[in-house]
Structure 1
Amino acid sequence: MTALQTERLVLRHWHAADRLPFAEMNADPRVMEFMPATLSRPESDLLLDSIEKHIDTHGFGLFAAELRRDRSFIGFIGLAIPSFQASFTPGVEVGWRLSPIHWGKGLATEGAREVIRYAFEGLGLEAVVSFTVPANARSRRVMEKL
Structure 2
Amino acid sequence: MSDIEIVIADEVFHARFEVKDAPRTVTRFRELLPFSDRIIHVRWSGEACWIPMGERDLSLGFENATSHPAPGQVIVYPGGMPTSVSETEILVAYGPCCFASKAGQLAGNHFLSILDGGERLAKLGRAVLWEGAKSITFRLKV
Q: Which has the higher strand share?
A: 2
Both proteins in one fold, TM over 0.5:
no
- When the two structures are superposed, what TM-score results if normalisation uses the length of structure 2? 0.30
Q: Which has the higher helix share?
A: 1
Higher relative contact order (CA 8 A, sep 6+): 2
- When the two structures are superposed, what TM-score results if normalisation uses the length of structure 1? 0.29
